[in-house]
Amino acid sequence: MPTVLALETSCDESAAAVVRQGRVLAGAVASQVEEHARWGGVVPEIASRRHLEALPPLIERVLAESGVAMAELDAIAATVAPGLVGALLVGSITARTLARLHRRPFLGIHHLEGHLCSVHLGDPLPPEPHLVLLVSGGHSELVRVDGPGAYRRLGRSRDDAAGECFDKVARLLGLGYPGGPAIEAAGREGDPHRFRLPKGRVSLPGGGFHPYDFSFSGLKTAMMRLVRELQEAGGPLPLADLAASFEQVVAEVLVERSLRCARDQGLGRLVLVGGVAANRRLRQRLAMAAGEIGLDWRVAPLAYCTDNAAMVGVAAEQRLLAGCLSDPGLGVAARLPLEEAAVLYGTPPPI
């Protein structure tokens, strides 16, 4: 029954958690959102500095709250890829230093594997194989999971990630950062069918469209055009209807392509994770569509959709159970495909 201290610093949330057998003994997240909101997005330099300040008290807090001593930890883990390099380094160096000082094993974790594991923090994970729709600020992917660590990406966004599109459209509507929660709040009472918006598709070289890939940049442009037209017509912007219509089309696209992919692949189970998985309209849309065709679906608990360290801890537990450990010299990487997550446990370290 492994006990893990996990750190997450890949973007703009500093987080620490102590996890034991898929249960969170203590977890804390210090969000930098307010600081970055002034700039309309994440400023990497500010993120690194804030992680450096936030991490030590967070670690002290989760250790105290969990009542777990350093000597009881089976491993210390940190997200090492993908993400902002400076930000990742803060978590990784902190974890490796603690591991060395306290003679504990170290595990570097792939951020997306963390998101995939977030669903464990709610219901038990459905047996493999299953399909995961991972939608965050940096990624929109459909991943087939055939076993622990056995991933195959079947679909992805060719331009903006879904969360990134939420953030950009929120800025366009003057709703602030991060865009997802702001759009959700603005659109709560709105009419989701008032505006017809495009479901961006990705052309195949030989004709037709890629069945599982996403494209959100056309939707962003359509929103820009629509807002301009409405502004030129005068009067206040119908923010609630704009936000609701935008959310609706994003939810429809994500759910339609996921269900098609699950059907084509003969997969009867679908898992929804990542920051955008917190979206109420998306969760409802998935529940309805999956229900209609009898697809078994799960979604990460609301509290663990956006970045947190508990999900990193669960991923670390799974890796530990599979006999994986990272070299203390392991570095960090801005990019690393999920399919290659196993390289984080190789010797000599690849990064």
**What are the residues binding Zn ion (CB under 5 A)?**
136, 307
Q: At what angle do helices 162-172 and 239-265 cross, to 10 degrees?
A: 170
- If the CB atoms of residues 105 and 275 are measured against ligand KG4, the closer one turns out to be 275
- If the CB atoms of residues 63 and 161 are measured against ligand KG4, the closer one turns out to be 161
Beta-strand relationship, 75-81 and 106-110: parallel
- Listing DSSP states for 250-270 in one string gives HHHHHHHHHHHHHHHHT--EE
User: What's the closest the beta carbon of residue 71 comes to ligand KG4, in angstroms?
Assistant: 32
User: What's the closest the beta carbon of residue 280 comes to ligand KG4, in angstroms?
Assistant: 7
- If the CB atoms of residues 179 and 200 are measured against ligand KG4, the closer one turns out to be 179
What is residue 28's three-state secondary structure?
strand
Contacted entry of Zn ion, ligand KG4, none for residue 86, CB cut-off 5 to 8 Å set by kind: none
With contact defined as beta carbons under 8 Å apart, do 310 and 19 qualify? yes
User: What's the closest the beta carbon of residue 329 comes to ligand KG4, in angstroms?
Assistant: 26
User: What's the closest the beta carbon of residue 111 comes to Zn ion, in angstroms?
Assistant: 6
User: What's the closest the beta carbon of residue 1 comes to ligand KG4, in angstroms?
Assistant: 28
First to last CA, the chain: 29
- If the CB atoms of residues 11 and 26 are measured against ligand KG4, the closer one turns out to be 11
- If the CB atoms of residues 166 and 195 are measured against ligand KG4, the closer one turns out to be 166
Write out the residues near ligand KG4 by the rule CB under 6 A.
Answer: 11, 136-138, 163-164, 166-167, 178-181, 184, 274-276, 278-279, 306-307
Locus of tokens 């442009």: 221
Locus of tokens 């209807």: 241
Residue 323 has φ and ψ, to the nearest 5°, of 85, 15
Strands (E), 98-248: 106-110, 130-135, 140-147, 150-156
Contacted entry of Zn ion, ligand KG4, none for residue 109, CB cut-off 5 to 8 Å set by kind: none
